[in-house]
């Protein structure tokens, strides 16, 4: 091994982290769903095209470090993960408290993945009553 090679570099699978966040957050009491938005759909298309271009033009370089799911946009810079969450919540749970809880829950998932927590922005797009 030469001194030019990085040692102990962590390989990050953003798709796995995104899946874990999606499952964990959507099961949290008071969260009705992670809200798909036009922004997340457009981000997905953009990321898919950039990934395809990257794969064709730079196959030996690491892939771009952004992942999306409905209601989630993850962005990795170095070992810092920034996250944007779009939620629909239940009216029975105060929105501000639920936003804080989902931030804390997301931070726990990010830390468990071995990354540093960056910004976690939560947008509550809908507050809905329970179907009855």
| The pLDDT value given to residue 5 | 44
- Give the bridge partners for 83, in sequence order: 74, 120
Q: Which two tokens stand for residue 128?
A: 């809905």
In a domain, 40, yes or no: yes
In a domain, 9, yes or no: no
91 in a structural domain: yes
CATH code for position 75: 3.30.70.1350
Total domains in the chain come to: 1
Note the pLDDT tens digit of each residue in 19-54: 999 999 999 999 999 988 655 555 555 555 555 554
In-domain check, residue 6: no
Residue 89 lies in a domain: yes
Give a yes or no: residue 3 inside a domain.
no
Of 2-6, 7-11, 52-56, the one with minimum mean pLDDT is: 2-6
User: Which of 10-14, 48-52, 72-76, 106-110 shows the highest mean pLDDT?
Assistant: 106-110
Question: Across all residues in the chain, what is the average pLDDT?
Answer: 80
For residue 103 the two structure tokens come to 């931030």
pLDDT band at 8 (very low <50, low <70, confident <90, very high): very low
112 vs 9 pLDDT, higher one: 112
Task: Please give the residue range of the domain that contains residue 110.
Answer: 14-54+63-128
Q: Residue 6 above 50 pLDDT?
A: no
Domain-embedded: residue 48: yes
Placement of tokens 């509550």 in the chain: 124
The pTM (predicted TM-score) of the whole model is 0.74
Distances (CA, A) of 82 to 3, 50, 51: 31, 19, 19
Is residue 8 in a domain?
no
């Amino acid at each position: 091994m030469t001194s030019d090679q990085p040692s102990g570099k962590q390989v990050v699978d953003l798709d796995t982290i995104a899946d874990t966040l999606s499952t964990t957050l959507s099961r949290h009491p008071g969260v009705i769903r992670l809200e798909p938005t036009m922004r997340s759909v457009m981000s997905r298309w953009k990321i898919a095209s950039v990934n395809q271009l990257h794969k064709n033009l730079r196959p030996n370089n690491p892939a771009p470090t952004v992942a999306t799911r409905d209601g989630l946009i993850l962005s990795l810079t170095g070992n810092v993960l920034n996250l944007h969450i779009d939620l629909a919540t239940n009216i029975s749970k105060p929105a501000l408290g639920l936003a804080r809880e989902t931030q804390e829950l997301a931070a726990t998932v990010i830390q468990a993945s071995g990354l540093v927590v960056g910004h976690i922005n939560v947008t509550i797009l809908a507050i809905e009553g329970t179907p009855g």
